[in-house]
Chains A and B, each alone.
Chain A
Amino acid sequence: MDFNFIWLSLGEIASPTTAAYALATIGLVVHFGFTGLLNFGQAGFMAVGGYAFAIATLKFDAPLPMAVLATILASALFALILGIPTLRLRADYLSIVTIAASEIIRLSVKTSELTDITGGATGLNGAAKTFNAINPFPKGNYGFGVLTYTADQLWVRVVGWTLVALACLVVFLLVRSPWGRVVKGIREDEDAVRSLGKNVFSYKMQALIFGGVLGGLAGMLFILPRSLQPDNYGTQLTFFLYTIMLLGGATTVFGPVIGSMIFWVTLSLSDGLLALGINSGILPITSVQQGPVRFIIVGVALALLVVFRPQGILGNKKEVFFSA
């Protein structure tokens, strides 16, 4: 029997996709966990960031720093547009608007009229060219066994996890500062914070933009090892991010990293185990059913987690205790 899948699953711990999901979830933690903004459109922020990077690189031949700048500006602008009409209203309005806006983005970039710019339904290919051009690692293979990477694969892993580490550091500093205290106060009761002389709207906007930019950068990271496909940014992506956030702990800085690793290892490992079971005839399902069954496993695991460990893996039990 082929047990390579175990090694491949462990490889998911360091994969750039895991890093991208972790980064987007850190943004979501800033929104939901610390500020109490119910953003159901983090997939939209990732799409905006990814498209901004790919279009700047491929259509405008922008150098890498400019493309990264475009990513940051586009996701900040997206946050601004979503925030201005909704942040003065009750929390639920933001969730409705963000989920709708992220779908609008996905369906708009798919329209054939925009094929020249966005690549239509087929998406965009090769956005990583400027990124790989500055790869400092010499050509060759790195790693061992099935976990052997090319220089470009290593480069995207190093950069991806550096970005995640930086984001963790900034969020860590922010939530322990007076700024973090104000946004946590807003999460608890924004009228109370307003009565203490804080400009609640401005803080909510700052948090929305900051978390959105992290989402945009995650979108950029997500397309570096693969092509840009509009259908990757459906609502299920947002809910995977929510799964990761609840898994790791919604009010923790490092929860998203742990959560993302567990999420991807579980998906990959269960895929391998199911394949093993199907091939050896133990499991009464077909290989076509294998993919969806993985998500059933993730769903059941999440339900159990919410019941038995509602604060997530790294969360603080007390915080859940008093939330009722």
Chain B
Amino acid sequence: MPKTPVDQIVAGPIEPGVKKKNPILVVDGVRRTFGGLTAVNVDHVEIPAGAVTALIGPNGAGKTTFFNLLTGFDKPNEGSWNFKGENLAGVPAFKVARRGMVRTFQLTKALSLMKVIDNMLLGATKQPGENMFRALFPFTWKQREADVEERAQSLLARFKLDAKKDDYAGSLSGGQRKLLEMARALMSDPDLVMLDEPMAGVNPALTQSLLHHILDLKEQGMTVLFVEHDMHVVQEIADWVIVMAEGKVVAEGPPSTVMSDPAVIDAYLGAHHDTDLGTISGQLEVAEEMESDLIRHEVEEEAAHDGK
């Protein structure tokens, strides 16, 4: 899946809050405070439709709070946001999901005491059997059940979980739970998928396959917004990057240029984000930069010790 060119995304000069040609989500003046702390204070931001957008920023920048606000899991003090042209402010979380904006959680929420297949079926929409009275008459919902089960099977096969279909979700490994949560969110055929740190705690091989799944979503016409700390991942799959710090959007842009933005380096990456701190030369470079004789001395001593 090729990256979406920048000129197809933006409709103006690249800067925080830039207008997009085809935004699926438009956020205006959303502010959330916890006592004296302003966790989120976003003036204006637009999420481009049909693209993969990464939301990055230091811990405590308000990324997850921002996610919670947009999906109705938390209420802002003020502000409004539109999804596909419809106002979403004040809409409860379950209705947000029904309108086509689903999310996953930073701490995976697999429903442990339910089978993998039941986890999947729960993600389906328009199941009449979820009405208490119709539930008593299986003939009213059996047909829909068969349809969604078929969809669940094919999604499980895509995420290589089909062998685990009848296992309890609690028996899955951490990485498999991430896959299950993502597959479950896709059961409702959403327009916008919001992934909160999908790669956290996942091994490199599985990260590769998760990346493919995310690009798959884009190929199928879905919009993806994800929070991630791994810059390699962001470089590889994101068409657009939004950088948050202290609750504000401090930078926006395509991944290739946003990483060299001084505001991003100051707030998030740090001056030595490309230096490998696992090597002596890398540590020396940092020590020189910091003009600290103490650290330099320590590193040299350690190198001499290793050399013996």
The chain A residues found within 8 Å of chain B, CB to CB, are: 170, 173-174, 177-182, 184-185, 187-189, 191-200, 206, 210, 318-319, 321-323
Quick check: which of B8-16, B53-61, B110-118, B299-307 contacts chain A, the rest being far away? B110-118
Q: Please, what's the 1-or-0 string for B98-125, where 1 marks a CB less than 8 Å from any CB in chain A?
A: 1000111100011111100011011101
Kindly report which residue of chain A lies nearest to residue B136, judged by CB atoms.
Answer: A173
Quick check: which of B22-30, B127-135, B202-210, B230-238 contacts chain A, the rest being far away? B127-135
A174-B135, A322-B171 known; A195 vs B111 contact (CB < 8 Å): no
Residues of chain B within 8 A of A179, CB atoms compared: 129-132, 135
Indicate if the CB atoms of B114 and A185 lie closer than 8 Å: yes
Residues of chain B within 8 A of A206, CB atoms compared: 132
A186 to chain B, nearest CB (A): 9
Kindly report which residue of chain B lies nearest to residue A179, judged by CB atoms.
Answer: B135
Indicate if the CB atoms of A188 and B111 lie closer than 8 Å: yes
Known A177-B135, A179-B129, A322-B168; further 9 A-B contacts with Cβ < 8 A: A173-B136, A181-B114, A181-B130, A188-B113, A189-B109, A197-B98, A206-B132, A319-B168, A322-B112
Indicate if the CB atoms of A192 and B168 lie closer than 8 Å: no
Please give me the 10 A-B residue pairs with the lowest Cβ-Cβ distance, nearest first.
A322-B170, A177-B135, A178-B129, A197-B97, A179-B135, A192-B109, A188-B111, A197-B98, A178-B130, A194-B93
Indicate if the CB atoms of B73 and A194 lie closer than 8 Å: yes
A174-B135, A174-B136 known; A200 vs B112 contact (CB < 8 Å): no
A136 to chain B, nearest CB (A): 28
Residues of chain A within 8 A of B187, CB atoms compared: 196
Some 14 contacts from A to B, beta carbons below 8 A apart, are A173-B135, A177-B129, A178-B127, A178-B145, A184-B113, A185-B114, A185-B122, A192-B110, A192-B181, A195-B93, A195-B104, A195-B109, A321-B170, A323-B170
Indicate if the CB atoms of A197 and B94 lie closer than 8 Å: yes
Indicate if the CB atoms of A188 and B135 lie closer than 8 Å: no
Indicate if the CB atoms of A178 and B111 lie closer than 8 Å: no
Indicate if the CB atoms of A196 and B188 lie closer than 8 Å: yes
Residues of chain A within 8 A of B111, CB atoms compared: 184-185, 188-189, 192-193
A184-B113, A195-B185 known; A177 vs B138 contact (CB < 8 Å): yes
Indicate if the CB atoms of B135 and A195 lie closer than 8 Å: no
Indicate if the CB atoms of B121 and A181 lie closer than 8 Å: yes
The answer, among A178, A194, A200, for a CB contact under 8 Å with B135, is A178
Kindly report which residue of chain B lies nearest to residue A202, judged by CB atoms.
Answer: B94
Indicate if the CB atoms of B130 and A182 lie closer than 8 Å: yes
Indicate if the CB atoms of A191 and B132 lie closer than 8 Å: no
- Count how many chain B residues have C-beta atoms less than 8 Å from C-beta atoms of the other chain: 42
Residues of chain B within 8 A of A197, CB atoms compared: 94-95, 97-98, 102, 125, 188
B111 to chain A, nearest CB (A): 4
A-B contacts counted at CB < 8 A amount to 107
Residues of chain A within 8 A of B145, CB atoms compared: 178
B184 adjacent to chain A (CB < 8 Å): yes
Residues of chain B within 8 A of A178, CB atoms compared: 121, 127, 129-130, 135, 141, 145
Residues of chain A within 8 A of B223, CB atoms compared: none
Kindly report which residue of chain B lies nearest to residue A322, judged by CB atoms.
Answer: B170
A189-B109, A195-B103, A196-B184 known; A184 vs B114 contact (CB < 8 Å): yes
Kindly report which residue of chain A lies nearest to residue B121, judged by CB atoms.
Answer: A181
Q: How many angstroms from the CA of A29 to the CA of B111 in the assembled complex?
A: 19
Indicate if the CB atoms of A196 and B185 lie closer than 8 Å: yes
B41 adjacent to chain A (CB < 8 Å): no
Q: How many angstroms from the CA of A269 to the CA of B121 in the assembled complex?
A: 47
Q: How many angstroms from the CA of A179 to the CA of B119 in the assembled complex?
A: 13
B134 to chain A, nearest CB (A): 8
Residues of chain B within 8 A of A182, CB atoms compared: 122, 130
Residues of chain A within 8 A of B135, CB atoms compared: 173-174, 177-180
Indicate if the CB atoms of A192 and B136 lie closer than 8 Å: no
Residues of chain B within 8 A of A200, CB atoms compared: 94
Q: How many angstroms from the CA of A318 to the CA of B170 in the assembled complex?
A: 10
A188-B113, A199-B94 known; A177 vs B136 contact (CB < 8 Å): yes
Kindly report which residue of chain A lies nearest to residue B97, judged by CB atoms.
Answer: A197
Q: How many angstroms from the CA of A193 to the CA of B92 in the assembled complex?
A: 13
Q: How many angstroms from the CA of A196 to the CA of B168 in the assembled complex?
A: 19
B168 to chain A, nearest CB (A): 5
Residues of chain A within 8 A of B138, CB atoms compared: 173, 177
The answer, among A193, A210, A319, for a CB contact under 8 Å with B132, is A210
Q: How many angstroms from the CA of A196 to the CA of B129 in the assembled complex?
A: 16
Indicate if the CB atoms of B71 and A198 lie closer than 8 Å: no
Kindly report which residue of chain B lies nearest to residue A210, judged by CB atoms.
Answer: B132
Residues of chain B within 8 A of A321, CB atoms compared: 170
Indicate if the CB atoms of A198 and B118 lie closer than 8 Å: no
Residues of chain B within 8 A of A195, CB atoms compared: 71, 73, 93, 97, 102-105, 109, 185
Kindly report which residue of chain A lies nearest to residue B68, judged by CB atoms.
Answer: A191
Indicate if the CB atoms of A322 and B113 lie closer than 8 Å: yes
The answer, among B97, B131, B185, for a CB contact under 8 Å with A194, is B97
